[in-house]
Amino acid sequence: MADETTGPVPPARRASARVARKRSTDTGEEAKAPKQARTDPPSEEPEASESRSSGPLQVGDALPSLELVDQSEERVQIADLKKVVIFTYPRANTPGCTRQAQCFRDAYDDWKQAGYEVYGLSSDSPKSQTTWSKKLSLPYRLLCDPKRELIGALTGTKSSTKRSHFVVGEDGKLSLSSIGVKPGESSSAALASVAT
């Protein structure tokens, strides 16, 4: 009889062991949940900064530390530029880009009077920029950005060059960013932003 009473005990013990294991597993899962909740916000911050850095520079942002050459192959430190207007154009010696460049050329004295230097910017080679500059008698420098590093920083894309203009203040930070502009209105619209 003693054997009969002790026979059912082990299954009962096994059952209570299963319940105990289940409880400890449940408790462990519950304990992990708050830890995951605590680590979620930090992982969101890098995502926010990544999406921010992949977009175009905003008003108040400084120009990136890059070195480009102009049409004469003279080096230009982009981060050092202050009180400048930079206009981007898809390709030298094409109708819309020529119109935009001519408008900046015709308003060059107004830009100088306002205390600003003018820079054109495209992915064209120095040779193409030089030919075009001479053809149009452009009085300002044309920056060559074959990898579209500055173009990408300003417009938010390196896949193409969007016709745009950007004004950089005396503090070296953007005071105007206009992406996707009409060639004949680019210079006058940018100039209006610095007129006193």
Q: How far apart are CA 34 and CA 149, in angstroms?
A: 42
97 is catalytic: yes
Q: Which of 97, 142, 168, 181 is catalytic?
A: 97
Q: Annotated catalytic sites, by residue?
A: 97
